[in-house]
Amino acid sequence: MNEYAFVLGSNWLLSIAELLVYVQDRGFKATLVDHSRHIAILDIKDKLDNEQVVEMQAALGGCYKVSRVLHRYDSDTVRNAFPTAGQPQREDREALIKFPWLSKVWQNPKGKKIRFGLSTYPEFDGKSPIQYRRFARTMDEKIKSTLIQKGARKADYFAYDKPDKRVAERMNLALWPKSIAQNNLLIPPNSEILAAFTHKHLYFARTLVVYDSALQQYRDESRPYISSKISTSPKICRTLLTLAGARPGDTILDPFCGTGTILMEAAMLGMKVIGIDIDGNQVQGTRSNLIWFGKDLGQQVDFEIIRGDARDLSNLVNRQVDAVAFEPSLGPIYSGKPEWEDAENNIRDLTELYREVLKHIGQILRPDGRVAMTIPVIVTKDGPISVDIREMIKGTGLGFFKLLPAGIIKSRSEGDKRFRINPGRDILPERKRGQVVQRALIALEK
């Protein structure tokens, strides 16, 4: 068994799509064997080396942790051992605290000072027949006492079980990547262990690498030019790059580059970048960001930023590009939900703009290259309205790229409709509660 657990971003389906597209593009023989709204379990035929794991974590916008699966239980065992109602079953509790996986993490704990953390990921947030908090604390205590029994000089666990900062009534049983880094939990003999629940199983896994939130925050806040009104989140930028099939060494185009967030993320991943924007301030801003970024990285960033209209793209860029990733202009900023007719007119204009730009992209994109973009979904007084994507790609020479590759989805949790994945989808929503202009992501191929 070569199973890996990936902790997903808040948009679980989009995170799974990104992960599957990534492994498929890299030629890993991988299958999605289980998932929840927090975790994807992938069986990967060849064991990943360190470099591959680090590269994967750096590239994926919708991934917080990559971990190696150590052991699997039926979740019935946990349901019986830590029920919210009724008596706990002793044999099931004992089966769990035998820790058959422990020696895979700590071969020889003798004399060592060990600090560990256990992060519990329920199958989804909401009511459950399992008492997760009691489960988590029992695991903490029992791992600690087992390590001491096996001769560890000291064993301490790091637990964070305060309410989730974002949703006050929800308990947070998982450690943030930042706490893991601050407490050196990935440096042996320390370790972070995941207890990840899916519909029918519990996976124990050992974390190999986590999202570098400090580096991301630094890049975001220290760059010379930023505009909170238009800048795309760096996580979405990386997801777009993955969906576009962008690889280190490739030449990437963003025809609506704004403040250059996609281009910075691409440069970080070792790509050459070309940006276009109609607004001179954005062009200047992106240039200063990339110059700053190059100095900060201590290496030359290969970039070209052009002021111009993306509808004239193939005349502005006279070389072939390997991938295109962008967040185009999404139309007006609404102060409240608009009338349907108002939004419909704007959507019509935007569809026209996107089609024209995509036609040009079709001309300079590498023959097997891909495009990933966001499109607006406007929430009107009478419901949401969006671009007709079939209409949008007419005459562009581009077709839909399947975001959820059907052949590699064989999840043990697919039987439950809350977790069902429909591989036929051409579009994935990226919803932000309360926003009038929501977004969706699509990918196209030549």
Ligand X SMILES: C[S@@+](CC[C@H](N)C(=O)[O-])C[C@H]1O[C@@H](n2cnc3c(N)ncnc32)[C@H](O)[C@@H]1O
* List of residues contacting ligand X (CB under 6 A): 230-232, 256, 258-259, 261-262, 276-279, 282, 309-311, 327-330
Provide the minimum distance between the beta carbon of 355 and ligand X in the complex, in angstroms, as a whole number. 12
**3-state SS, residue 218:** helix
DSSP 113-169: EEEEEEEEE-SSSS--SB-HHHHHHHHHHHHHHHHHHTT-SEEEE----SBPSSSTT
- The smaller minimum CB distance to ligand X, of residues 157 and 256, is found at 256
Provide the minimum distance between the beta carbon of 278 and ligand X in the complex, in angstroms, as a whole number. 4
Provide the minimum distance between the beta carbon of 43 and ligand X in the complex, in angstroms, as a whole number. 35
Distance CA 326, CA 361 (A): 12
240 phi, psi to nearest 5 deg: -60, -40
Dump strand ranges (E) for 13-153: 30-35, 39-44, 63-74, 113-121
What is the pairing mode between strands 3-8 and 39-44? antiparallel
Provide the minimum distance between the beta carbon of 222 and ligand X in the complex, in angstroms, as a whole number. 16
- The smaller minimum CB distance to ligand X, of residues 198 and 289, is found at 289
- The smaller minimum CB distance to ligand X, of residues 7 and 262, is found at 262
Distance CA 70, CA 79 (A): 20
Provide the minimum distance between the beta carbon of 286 and ligand X in the complex, in angstroms, as a whole number. 8
- The smaller minimum CB distance to ligand X, of residues 114 and 392, is found at 392
Provide the minimum distance between the beta carbon of 166 and ligand X in the complex, in angstroms, as a whole number. 23
- The smaller minimum CB distance to ligand X, of residues 16 and 440, is found at 440
- Contact at 8 Å (CB) between 64 and 216? no
Provide the minimum distance between the beta carbon of 374 and ligand X in the complex, in angstroms, as a whole number. 8
- The smaller minimum CB distance to ligand X, of residues 118 and 325, is found at 325
Provide the minimum distance between the beta carbon of 336 and ligand X in the complex, in angstroms, as a whole number. 20
- The smaller minimum CB distance to ligand X, of residues 31 and 286, is found at 286
- The smaller minimum CB distance to ligand X, of residues 130 and 236, is found at 236
Q: Which of 405, 291, 443 is nearest to 27 (CA)?
A: 405
Which residue do the tokens 């593009």 mark? 25
Distance CA 5, CA 101 (A): 15
How far is C-alpha 388 from the chain's CA centre?
Answer: 26
Nearest residue to ligand X, by Cβ distance, number only = 258
Q: CB under 8 Å to 80, separation ≥6 — which residues?
A: 88, 89, 92
Distance CA 209, CA 213 (A): 12
